[in-house]
Structures are given as structure tokens and as C-alpha cells.
Amino acid sequence: MKYKLFAGILGFLAAGTISAQEQEQGQDKSLYLKGNALFAPIGILNVGVEKQLSPKYTIQGDVFISPWKSFAGHKLQFYSASVEGRYYFKEAFKHWYIGANLSMAYYNAQKWNYWNDGVFLTDDGDRVKNSDIYQKGYSVMLGVTGGYQFQLSDRWNLDIYATVGTSQGFYKGYDSTTGKRYDGAEKFNKSGEIIPYRGGVMISYKLK
């Protein structure tokens, strides 16, 4: 059911975008360069561009880079790229919008719920500390974005947004003290869940 919902949203945005482009071939389209102010203070880079396709439709591409081999004693390396179609209820780059997002990510990190000294029981029956295990792999994510853009001036915008959707992960779990796998899988372990996986406060500058 959830996949049909996401597919329907993507189809709606795609159909609307194609129709709007056909109607607005001669119109000048705005282009914004964006950076996430929420993550920049801790050394995580999240930048993108948002291009207007029609009076109410835009498309955005962005990258997220967390280079931390160790952050507060935990692995926190994430590298992701996403593409998103957006529909603005009033007009492009103004006020409320919804969007359909597709993202891919590679990670070498420790899940937040293992940031403690609890005990984890491996598939082989061994007991290891939560804080000693981490995961390495990749994910494919499909979700719905909701947000609001404030116009600060003729060229500056503030974009507040969040994305929730399905995340399909393929990873290998390791014990950092021994370098051995703790999950017992022969190749990749797999997991799927509905989670919030994007969000922030983007400072946007109009290039044209």
C-alpha cells in the first residue's frame, strides 16, 4: 500500500510538471543555490540547487556529506544525493509546498540507538557493547516532503522542510573491537522502515 501511495505522488508530480512545462515554454525560470544552515555548524555539508519549471513546479537536487570518521566517539560518515519534484500551492519559491523525493545514500556509521553502553546479543550468541558496533552499507529512500519558504528579500529565501518515507537498507554490521561481523549474514543484511530521513533549514540565494 505504501509503495502505491508513493508511486501515485511521483506520478502526480511528474504529470503536472510535464503539463506545466508545455504551457510555459517562454517564461523565464528562477534558479536558487541553497545551503543547510542546520548542519553547517557541526561540519556537515548539505547543498543543492532548485530550478523553477513552471509557475508552481520546481525540481531540486542536493547532496549531503557527513565526513566524520569519529563524532563524539561514534562513526558518522554519510554520503547521499537526492532529487525532488515540488509543487507550490501559491507560486514557486513562496510559502507552502509538497514534494516527492528519491534519495540514495552510502554510510559507515553507528545508528543513534546504539549510542549507549547497553549490551547487544549477536547472532552467534556473543555479548558486545552497543557502543562498539556500527553499520556499513547503502540505502535507497523514497518519501514525501512538506515545507514552507519565506521570502527574506528579492534574492534571499529561507526554506524549512522535512521528508518522511520508506528506507530500504543493505548493510554489514561490525564489532569495532574485533573487526568481525556481528549480524551473522553471509552478504548484506537488509532492513526496511518508514522514517523521517531529511530535513533542515535551507538558506537560498537566487542566481537568476
Q: Where residue 101 falls among pLDDT bands split at 50, 70, 90?
A: very high
| Predicted confidence (pLDDT) per residue in 51-94, tens digit | 999 999 999 999 999 998 877 777 889 999 999 999 999 999 99
Residue 89 near residue 97, CB atoms below 8 Å = yes
DSSP string, 116-164: SS-EEE-TTS-EEEGGGEEEEEEEEEEEEEEEEEEE-SSSEEEEEEEEE
pLDDT value at position 12?
A: 52
Distance CA 8, CA 194 (A): 17
Residue 87 near residue 55, CB atoms below 8 Å = no
| Predicted confidence (pLDDT) per residue in 117-157, tens digit | 666 666 666 676 667 788 899 999 999 999 999 999 999 99
Distance CA 144, CA 133 (A): 31
Distance CA 139, CA 45 (A): 19
Residue 56 near residue 23, CB atoms below 8 Å = no
Residues in the chain: 208
